[in-house]
Structure 1
Amino acid sequence: MRCPYCNNEIEQGLLQGMRRVAWIKRQHKVSLLPKQGEVLLENNTFSDFLLQAHICKSCKKIVVDYSDKEIQEG
């Protein structure tokens, strides 16, 4: 898949979070201490979640796919 911003190849993974958010290559215990090749995103406003996501390490963008989630809109 290509990045919609810079057209470079992007890497498939997941966004996993509780009080901190991390892009990970595969799901693991929620310690959120980044492993090699993972990216930690600080943010204390999120609750527990796991979403399919692609990362572009060239332009530092993450594309999230939430099509398999039930979304409540206000």
Structure 2
Amino acid sequence: MLLDRVMIRAREMQEAGGDVRLDDNHEALKVRLHTYDEQTAPLIEYHQSRAILRSINGFLPVDAVTAELLTVSGGNR
């Protein structure tokens, strides 16, 4: 699913005449996922254990993600 999302983003950007990121490809995604597993994923348990982790569904439309971010952060626009 994640690989599909990256490849769709690259195709849409190219079709719109924009610049495609150099790291929007299979090999770069593998590196990014490995880095996530090694460096970021361990932080989930750490923050969960302190009841300070807030989760946001990043697959929602941008406006919905923004609304969720504002809700969990207590922020205002």
TM-score between the two structures when normalised by the length of structure 2: 0.21
Tell me which of the two structures has the higher relative contact order, counting C-alpha pairs closer than 8 angstroms and 6 or more residues apart: 1
So what's the TM-score if we normalise by structure 1? Answer: 0.21
| Greater percentage in strand | 1
Greater fraction of residues in helix: 2
